[in-house]
Amino acid sequence: MLTLRCVFGSSAKFLVSFPALKHNTRLQNSMSGSLHPLAAVCQVTATPDKEANFSACKQLVEEAKQRGASMVFLPEGFDYIGSSREETLALSESLAGDTISRYTQLARKLELWLSLGGFHERGHDWEADRRIHNSHVIINDRGDIVSVYRKSHLFDVELPEKGVSLKESAFTIPGPSLVAPVQTPIGKVGLGICYDLRFPELSVALQRHGAEILTYPSAFTVATGAAHWEVLLRARAIETQCFVLAAAQVGRHHEKRSSYGHALAVDPWGEVLGDCGEEKPGLVLVEVDLGKVRSTRRNMPVQQHRRDDAFYCSLPQT
């Protein structure tokens, strides 16, 4: 079973789908005594102001800890979203910089795991080429960086009829490889970032290497989010029979860019279990029962029915 609750900021307001405060109190008490670990999937509105962004994310992380979360998921661009290529590059840091240092301290202080879903990491040849990686950083409850995945599929898309024009490769280096799923308190987590969601080969590869949970921290545009966000997340969950946790950016970052929102939690059957909506920052708190992964895979053994790789490459060239 996976239970959810959505909280907006420190005021702890509940989604209107929960009709009564008495019910909310029972739910909170039930979750705090849960047999299964809790994950918090966050939604934020990052701007070019790094200090304000850290303050907002810290508040959500502390809220999640207070309500019993073992692991907190922050979206792509949690550190900032720049208003130009020049600003984006100027604000970037290395993994040894102040931003990641503050989050490692926060994880250690609160004794919980963090998924930092899209950090602007300066490339190894920064002084020579002034390019960055879009890096997904996992920090454990001791404040150690235990995994770094660098986004491998870059968002170079022109949709003039939708008002979408982004060329991530102009300043971002594609990651060289996938990374192995990470054992965490909520289960084995496979790492992706945003546009990676559109490539099912990535999710299948992570599932084959033991992933029980997939995570796609994102900053989807409003146009592509409205058309594709939920259906893609549900598809990735269904085909891999994994939980999918997708932190998201929401709202207006600056005069040139807005994001779709709808941070989601999806179960291995493809059911949407939590949605933070499209209006404001907040979080979805979910109870992760890995028994649901095992039972779904046992009852519908898709992976056992999969043919070998050679079969799927057997079509003649045209």
Q: Which residues are known catalytic residues?
A: 76, 151, 194
Taken in order 166, 156, 270, 210, the sign of the CA dihedral is negative
> Cα–Cα distances in Å, from 52 out to 79, 90, 143?
9, 17, 22
> Cα–Cα distances in Å, from 282 out to 37, 62, 248, 313?
20, 12, 10, 44
Asked if 246 and 216 count as a contact pair (C-beta separation under 8 A), the reply is yes
Sheet-wide strand order for 272-275: 182-184, 187-191, 213-215, 243-246, 264-266, 272-275
Asked if 168 and 154 count as a contact pair (C-beta separation under 8 A), the reply is yes
d(CA 148, CA 136): 6
Q: Report DSSP state, residue 28.
A: H
d(CA 66, CA 12): 11
Q: Using CA atoms in the order 16, 19, 21, 24, what is the torsion angle rounded to 10 degrees?
A: -80
Nearest 5°: phi and psi at 231? -65, -35
d(CA 217, CA 69): 18
Asked if 28 and 5 count as a contact pair (C-beta separation under 8 A), the reply is yes
Distance of CA 107 to the CA centre of its chain: 17
Backbone φ/ψ region at 157: left (φ over 0), alpha (ψ -120 to 50), beta: beta
